[in-house]
Amino acid sequence: MTSTARAVLEAFDLDAIGTHSGRVVVFADPETSLPRAAKRADKLTKGAVARAVASDAFAKLKPGVGLTLGWPAGLQAEALHLIRIPAKPDAKTLRAAGVCIGKAHGPQPCLVCADTLPIGALAQAALLRAYQYEAQKSDPKPPFGPIHFMARSPDTQRDALAQAEALARATHLTRDLVNAPANILTTTSFAAQIETMQALGLKVEILDEAAMEALGMRALLAVGQGSESPSKLAILQWHGADGPPLAIVGKGVMFDTGGISLKPALGMEEMTMDMGGAAVTVGLMQALAERRARAHVVGLVGLVENMPDGRAQRPGDVVQSMKGDRIEVINTDAEGRLVLADVLWYAQTRFAPSAVINLATLTGAIIIALGHEKAGVFANDDALAAAFLQAAADTGEGAWRMPLDACYDPLIKSRIADVKNTGGRPAGSITAAQFLQRFVKPGMPWMHLDIAGVALTKTESPYAPKGATGWGILALDALIRAKFESR
């Protein structure tokens, strides 16, 4: 099973520094005197902490980074983790320190001498980084031990820690979903897992193929018609405030072979992550429910599998969307936008939202443009885009705004239908966004997040080991707090 750490909040106790048997974390800065936890550790180790803080190695550390003293004399701890932090650290430094703690964490309990430091950002980053996906291993690694945070005034920190834990759990859920193999996480099993989230207070509906056929969602259904896994539309509602909802729409292609336009074999195994947009949407809805957000949000995820088969759609086919637009399928591997087209239109038609945000591992072109460091942000509303970019910056999740412009529309003009599903390689991520914009009603604030480069990485990311990242939970939650949550 997946291993994550549990956070425990405790009153500050200097004596615990000497008796704790796992890893002990203290903080210091070479430009100020030792805080009381570091001072007690220094006394117990007969000056080892002071010598380490005065060393060139410690001086060269960036804020939030630390060094480890193994099996320190005078302590029962297996390691003393000394992290550089200024007297008044900002959130970025606290997050860096948390990542440092989580990355070093293992099966033994960890004692973090936070004292007067704000717990929220520190604990959240530590919990996010202390993650390992072991669900498919017959001999999994030992689970993480708890992380104990000692605070001078723990009662004032409990709410911040609870919020941090909720976001960490939601991010871990998203990672679990993206990491899961496609033969285990199918359209049916994912929908069943979503249904269990009603226990959190979410209202959940699952539309089957017959219901979507009746709604005219032929663009979505065409993607999945070559698969034995039935296509589904899952709808999750969190009604934490009155008024029209914010709609979050996620692409949920459980596995993408490319269909008849078959992908190259090399790397195709990673296409289990093509439901990353749906995973973020579901994780976000869990976070909102767990923290009892004062917001009205509806999450919608289109679940399909794109397979080659005698029934699969072909290049050159023309399908009709729920909106009524006829789409010429140039490449069956440009399938995610067909799914989103119908779900976007359904979300607006049924819920009349205040704004719509969709997430999708949509294009390889966005990886060429931005690499694996930033998601592409496309928006028809400057205020919405600016608010999200600020939320992403505040939470340490990379994002960059990309252009939307009608000058790109000729690239997706069809000779025989209303629009083509791809304009080829030039401006590939932009023409995909232009395609989606056709299914956004006039005057509707809308933002498209292309997360193909950030949903799963081959090297560790700021908050995660290599693999699924859970990117987007933190930034979207911060956006909802700032712009869509009632005061």
The CATH number covering residue 335 comes to: 3.40.630.10
- For residue 2, the model assigns a pLDDT of 72
- pLDDT grade for 16, boundaries at 50, 70 and 90: very high
Q: Per the domain annotation, does 164 fall within a domain? A: no
- pLDDT grade for 484, boundaries at 50, 70 and 90: very high
Which of 125, 154, 183 is the last residue in one of the domains?
154
Burial 143-173 (b: 16+ CB within 10 A, else e): ebbebbbbbeebeebeebbbbbbbbbbbbbb
Q: Which of 206, 168, 21 is nearest to 109 (CA)?
A: 21
Q: Decide if pLDDT at 348 tops 80.
A: yes
Q: Decide if pLDDT at 1 tops 70.
A: no
Q: Per the domain annotation, does 242 fall within a domain? A: yes
Instruction: Give the range of the structural domain holding residue 56, as residue numbers without chain letter.
Output: 3-154
- pLDDT grade for 296, boundaries at 50, 70 and 90: very high
* 142 and 59 within one domain: yes
* 285 and 394 within one domain: yes
The pTM of the full predicted model, rounded to 2 decimals, is 0.97
* 234 and 316 within one domain: yes
3-state secondary structure (DSSP) of residue 7: strand
* 341 and 440 within one domain: yes
State how far the alpha carbon of 92 is from the alpha carbons of 63, 86, 121, 190, in Å.
9, 12, 8, 35
* 45 and 97 within one domain: yes
Q: Which of 369, 371, 354, 367 is nearest to 479 (CA)?
A: 354
- pLDDT grade for 147, boundaries at 50, 70 and 90: very high
- For residue 4, the model assigns a pLDDT of 87
Strand 296-306, strand 246-256: pairing:
parallel
* 273 and 184 within one domain: yes
pLDDT tens, residue by residue, 164-194: 999 999 999 999 999 999 999 999 999 999 9
Q: Per the domain annotation, does 160 fall within a domain? A: no
pLDDT tens, residue by residue, 84-128: 999 899 999 999 999 999 999 999 999 999 999 999 999 999 999
Tokens of 318: 């023309």
* 188 and 59 within one domain: no
* 74 and 218 within one domain: no
The CATH number covering residue 43 comes to: 3.40.220.10
Q: CA–CA separation, 394 vs 387, rounded Å?
A: 11
Which of 154, 180, 200 is the last residue in one of the domains?
154
Q: Cα angle at 481 between 479 and 485, to 5 degrees?
A: 115
* 397 and 299 within one domain: yes
Q: Per the domain annotation, does 161 fall within a domain? A: no
* 181 and 328 within one domain: yes
pLDDT tens, residue by residue, 358-392: 999 999 999 999 999 999 999 999 999 999 999 99
pLDDT tens, residue by residue, 434-479: 999 999 999 999 999 999 999 999 999 989 999 999 999 999 999 9
pLDDT tens, residue by residue, 58-78: 999 999 999 999 999 999 999
Q: Decide if pLDDT at 487 tops 80.
A: no
- For residue 453, the model assigns a pLDDT of 98
* Neighbour tally for 73: CB within 10 Å: 9
* 425 and 353 within one domain: yes
- pLDDT grade for 486, boundaries at 50, 70 and 90: confident
- For residue 307, the model assigns a pLDDT of 98
Q: Per the domain annotation, does 302 fall within a domain? A: yes
* 209 and 135 within one domain: no
Q: Per the domain annotation, does 159 fall within a domain? A: no
Which of 104, 122, 154 is the last residue in one of the domains?
154
Q: Per the domain annotation, does 77 fall within a domain? A: yes
Q: Per the domain annotation, does 163 fall within a domain? A: no
The residues assigned a catalytic role are: 263, 337
Q: How many domains does the chain have?
A: 2
